[in-house]
Structure 1
Amino acid sequence: MRSVYYFVIFHALCFGLSTAAFAESSQTNLHTQQHPLLASPIKNGFTWTLTSRLGQSLKLAEEKYGKRDPKWTILGVEFAKRKQPAIWYPFSQEGKHYIIVQLTPDSLDNHKQALFQLAHETIHLLSPAGGGHPTNVFEEGLAVYFSVLFLQQEGIDIKTDYITGANYRQAYELVKELYRAYPQTDKIIQQIREEKGKLSGLSVADLQHYFPNLDEDSAILLITPF
């Protein structure tokens, strides 16, 4: 049964939503949908679900920060009994790697929170670190920054005080300051990913190379394991 569930989610992510459905589905579906993974028929397609929202979120993230690593196959989205959303690495075989986005149970009935968590994990889908390998403050701050941006673009009211956890708030503020000082940060992140592969594992020298005049204290904070 579990394998069938993954197949349905993955099939929907890759093939189940037409371009027309993206256009036809209104913003009200975000709030009126009875279940975040239940799609209702509409003209030329189906209403938004978290699966199709993941496709939308990935599209925006790749436009801003470059293509995701194709070695990883995204199986879909699920709700897990855990306190924080995360990327789960269920297994790898024959050189193929599989990942699942896990959201928290309390977001099951809270679409705003579910979308916020989904957008956050989208950044970790671009260059997955692999199980047991921590990300750094830079990547976590970018994930929060992107979550806020994604919800704002969807017309959802969200303010900084929505970000809970002092560590996430600090990471977010550091990345927001990067954007203030370096308006071309999107392009810089693309360059970092092209040349270094991922944001985790960067050194102080790396950050100061890509962000000239970045002070050492900020660079140290950004590369700190999260």
Structure 2
Amino acid sequence: MMPSILLVKTATNAWENTRAQTDLSCPASMSNQLLITEMTPDGWSWTLATRCSDILHKLELEYGPRDRAYTFVGVDFHGERPHIWYPGNRQHVAIRLSMSALDDIPRAFYQLAHECVHLLSPSVEHHASVLEEGLATLFAETYALRAYNQHFSPSINGYARAASDVRELLGFHPDAISALRRVEPAFYKMDAGTFAQAGLVRAPIELRERLLTRFID
């Protein structure tokens, strides 16, 4: 039996008006493409591993280094709600994608991009803030659009509102996320003082307060 685990973070698939698969069957060709790479005229084809590498590289370049106290151990698929989780409660963190993504590669990488944002500062028992979930939503939308020219958008208002708040913040301070994380790398530890120390004074107080509240979908 697997050691006790703690499930945290909310799901990307909950945003979408698509019912997840509930059985374990899937087209082999699609699932293989997530795991088996092939040589193409443009180089090796993308897999979960290489997409993770690409996404994490982009995240760290733009928003600062992730918390390396946690070891990222991989990706699996189950159920309807993507999330990160902590196998064995031993500073390991994994990403779980929905079964609906197993036969939908763009959706898989869209969900992956969202969950990779949570790898920047895994929080275990702490809930994500509006800032963190809004950033994850916005980053995933942008990544899927650039990588596959497909537009995914939240169907649940909480994610849409959170992304809108982050867009508003970035309108005042385009480098807001990296500035905040230079002061406090963990999203769940940020407070009003973090915004002040980061110099994000042009953003309205009401917006800053919303971004720091606990995310509820």
TM-score category of the 2 structures, normalised to the smaller one: 0.7 to 0.9
- What's 1:16 paired with? none
- What's 1:5 paired with? none
1:37 aligns with 2:28: no
1:121 aligns with 2:115: yes
Distance in structure 1 (CA, Å) of the matches to 2:78 and 2:84:
11
Preserved contact between residue 126 and residue 188 of structure 2 (Cα < 8 Å): no
1:75 aligns with 2:68: no
- What's 1:53 paired with? 51
Distance in structure 2 (CA, Å) of the matches to 1:120 and 1:71:
20
- What's 2:132 paired with? 139
TM-score (normalised: structure 1): 0.75
CA offset at residue 122 of structure 1? Answer: 0.8
Give the unaligned 5+ runs of structure 1. 3-32
Matches within 5 A, 1:1-226: 34-35=30-31, 36-42=33-39, 46-81=44-79, 83-93=80-90, 97-130=91-124, 132-158=125-151, 162-185=153-176, 189-210=177-198, 211-226=200-215
Per-residue CA deviation, residues 78-98 of structure 1 (Å, 9 max, x unaligned), is: 1022x32111101244xxx11
CA offset at residue 207 of structure 1? Answer: 2.3
Preserved contact between residue 208 and residue 214 of structure 1 (Cα < 8 Å): no
CA offset at residue 46 of structure 1? Answer: 4.3
Distance in structure 1 (CA, Å) of the matches to 2:92 and 2:34:
20
| Paired letter, 1:50 | L
Distance in structure 1 (CA, Å) of the matches to 2:37 and 2:136:
30
| Paired letter, 2:83 | A
Query: How many percent identity over aligned positions?
Result: 30
CA offset at residue 110 of structure 1? Answer: 1.5
CA offset at residue 104 of structure 1? Answer: 0.8
* Greater helix proportion: 1
| Paired letter, 1:89 | Y
- SS of the counterpart of 2:65? coil
CA offset at residue 75 of structure 1? Answer: 0.8
Distance in structure 2 (CA, Å) of the matches to 1:37 and 1:221:
37
Per-residue CA deviation, residues 168-202 of structure 1 (Å, 9 max, x unaligned), is: 000000001111121233xxx22322331212232
How many residues get paired?
A: 185
Distance in structure 2 (CA, Å) of the matches to 1:184 and 1:191:
6
- What's 2:22 paired with? none
Which runs of structure 1 show a deviation greater than 3 angstroms over 4 or more consecutive aligned residues? 43-46
Distance in structure 2 (CA, Å) of the matches to 1:192 and 1:182:
11
Distance in structure 1 (CA, Å) of the matches to 2:213 and 2:161:
12
TM-score (normalised: structure 2): 0.77
